[in-house]
Amino acid sequence: MNPPSHQPAVARTVADAWARFDVVHAGPGGLNAFLAQDRSARALGTGEGPPRPLDGVPVAIKDNLATLGLPTTCGSRLLEGYVSPYEATAVRRLREAGAVIVGKTNLDEFGMGSTTEFSAFGPTRNPLDRERVPGGSSGGSAAAVAAGVVPVALGSETGGSVRQPAAWCGVVGLKPTYGRVSRYGLVAYASSLDHVGVFGATVADAARGLQAIAGEDPADATSLTTPVADYPAAVASAWATSGGSDQAPLAGVVVGRPREYFPEGLDPRLADCCERALARLRDLGATVRDVTLPHTALAIPAYYIIAPAEASSNLARYDGVRYGRRAPAEALRPMYERTRAQFGPEVTRRILLGTYVLSAGYYDAYYRQAQRARAAIASDFARLFAQGVQLLFTPTAPTTAPRLGALTDPYSMYLGDCFTVPANLAGIPAVSLPVGRVEGLPVGGQLMAAHGEEARLLRIAACLERALGAEAHQ
């Protein structure tokens, strides 16, 4: 799991992690990337017996994944201090692989946001420019990796909450196929869209993280039963075959360039970074083909109907009776109202929107139409993959990281997910990796593949990462 020489130093041991943590996190100018730490983890490096894939590797966990012994707050006052009596499958599997859980990371409340400014415990800052956001909702995990505190962190995705902060923080963010990683123990936002994802300092780090957590889980009826490929081997094969200029490791690979993801209004400097990455793919032997995904424009409106509708249902449990903090009141109805008034503004906005689109007289007009749009978007991807396109390359986000407080308009924030949301609606795997910088700020390039093709996705991402080399960080 050694990073390429152009990468910043990354902690590879628990002692390194705490040294980095103390440098970047403490004090009023700190990143606020972590909501809880487990300092006792310092002594839990490796155990007896044969070596395990992640022995002694420090890992951070987004604070909407249940953990034993550490709070699971979802960035909300409603769950402040809550400690789960059970552990998420993904977290348990990391421990079984030898990883050391060093802490829980900050997030937009209940995963609802794109900047990690909607946490009840304060915003996270971007390690590359502390006056800017790290992205969201998994901004704490992205910042922890970008700051070198951990080489691997878990996040969650509903509409791009791993890939977008990975792009803005200059790290690798991987969303697997829906069901490839169990959602058991992930606090639900929108169940048909939620994914557990992985951040890595490199593609190899992300591959090792995914290897540890992927696979069928009887506790999650939506988990895939198909075998898990050897993801680190796929990355290793890419490194073994892409070292010489006379080799063409991607010969025969067809990469689609969707025109809808390169609109006229896209920042030309960001577009140039992506075109340079496409040129590197061609240099590696890939064929780049212009393609179209005609229903892409429907993704944002469909997503912001389906996701809030599911959130409205999932968050109904936080009523002061069954889950979360109960507000004192003299009667039942005021108790409900005061308890739910503890939700932050973005969560409240999405619950109200979801309740509206599910209400009598509006269900067919909005929710059913959104599901039809979702099916059309998934069909677009399936058609291209059936026609021989093996991967799609796009920008990850339409901008670089904005300044703290700049996205005051919810509509502008929602549009920032325009390149990531379609993969969640279709349930296909996607990865973001650094492809350049604009005025010193990272630019992410996104690769998307067909259902279950994580190994191919990671192999090609690793080839591109190596081909770009130091260019990806300039």
How confident is the model at residue 6, as a pLDDT?
A: 45
The CA–CA distances, whole Å, from 250 to 173, 242, 253 equal 22, 9, 5
What DSSP line would sit under 384-417, residue for residue? HHHTT--EEEEES-SS-PPBTT---SHHHHHHTT
How confident is the model at residue 271, as a pLDDT?
A: 98
Between CA 387 and CA 296, with CA 271 as vertex, the angle to 5 degrees is 45
Q: Give the containing element (helix H, strand E) for 257.
A: strand 254-258
73 neighbors 82 (Cβ within 8 angstroms):
yes
Torsion angle, alpha carbons of 78, 411, 449, 237, to 10: -70
What DSSP line would sit under 187-254, residue for residue? PPSSTTT-EEEEEESSHHHHHHHHHHHBS--TT-TTS--SPPP-HHHHHHHHHHHSS-TT--TTTT-E
Round the CA-based radius of gyration of the chain to a whole number and report it: 21
Provide the annotated active-site residues. 62, 137, 161
422 neighbors 296 (Cβ within 8 angstroms):
yes
How confident is the model at residue 238, as a pLDDT?
A: 86
How confident is the model at residue 5, as a pLDDT?
A: 41
Amino acid at 85: P
- pTM listed for this prediction: 0.95
pLDDT digits (tens, 9 = 90+) for 40-49: 875 444 456 7
d(CA 209, CA 59): 9
What DSSP line would sit under 154-167, residue for residue? EEEESSSTTHHHHH
Using alpha carbons, select from 118, 26, 9 the residue that is nearest to residue 138: 118
- b/e burial code for range 345-366 (CB count within 10 A of at least 16 → b): ebbbebbebbbebbeeeeeeeb
d(CA 127, CA 166): 12
Instruction: State the residue for tokens 């992930």.
Output: 186
How confident is the model at residue 243, as a pLDDT?
A: 53
Q: Give the containing element (helix H, strand E) for 467.
A: helix 454-468
Using alpha carbons, select from 69, 187, 172 the residue that is nearest to residue 457: 172
Using alpha carbons, select from 342, 355, 438, 354 the residue that is nearest to residue 399: 438
d(CA 225, CA 185): 19
d(CA 299, CA 160): 12
Beta strand pairing call for 152-157 and 58-62 = parallel
d(CA 320, CA 337): 9
What does pLDDT average to in each consecutive run of 10 residues of the chain (474 residues)?
51 85 74 92 59 93 98 97 96 96 97 97 96 97 96 98 98 98 98 98 98 98 97 90 67 97 96 98 98 98 97 94 87 92 96 94 93 98 98 98 91 89 98 98 98 98 96 87
